[in-house]
Amino acid sequence: MKVLIVDDASFMRMMLRKMIESEGHFVAGEAVDGNDAVAKYSQLRPDLVTMDISMPNKNGIEAVQEIRAIDKAAKILMISAIGQEPMVKAAILGGAYDFIMKPLDEELFKKALDRAARDGR
């Protein structure tokens, strides 16, 4: 599975990359905010996007809406801080596929990756 990581924190991008690659998936690219995410999605057309919510310039919810406008089949896994349920709900309504809470539980994240890989695009 080809994955695009979207997070403004380099530490989170590094941790996500490690977990994604350890499951045998390929990190096609990394984006540092919502604008970057939309541009990289158009360019890379990944099978899955991991999307942070709170980011500068354009947040994850706006990015989900724009990516889904480009590609209705886009599969986006929201990664949110605990307690951001209203924002997660907004993202799901905007077309996000699944969500997982921060701090990341490695096993839960891997299960979410497995679900995404099984479902296909």
Residue 8 as a binder of other proteins (CB under 8 A): the answer is yes
In angstroms, give the least distance from the CB of 3 to other proteins: 20
Binding mask 42-81 for other proteins (x = CB under 8 A): ------------x-x------------------------x
**Which amino acid would we find at residue 38?**
V
**In terms of DSSP H, where are the helices of the chain?**
10-22, 34-44, 60-70, 85-93, 106-119
Binding residue (CB under 8 A) for other proteins from 30, 64, 77, 84: 84
Q: Which tokens sit at 9?
A: 């924190």
In angstroms, give the least distance from the CB of 116 to other proteins: 22
If the CB atoms of residues 74 and 78 are measured against other proteins, the closer one turns out to be 78
Q: CB of 78 within 8 A of CB of 51?
A: yes
The answer for 83, left when phi > 0, alpha when psi is -120 to 50, beta otherwise, is left
Comparing CA positions, the residue from 75, 81, 115 lying closest to residue 8 is: 81
If the CB atoms of residues 74 and 90 are measured against other proteins, the closer one turns out to be 90
| Binding region for other proteins (CB under 8 A) | 8-12, 14-15, 54, 56, 81-84, 102-103, 106
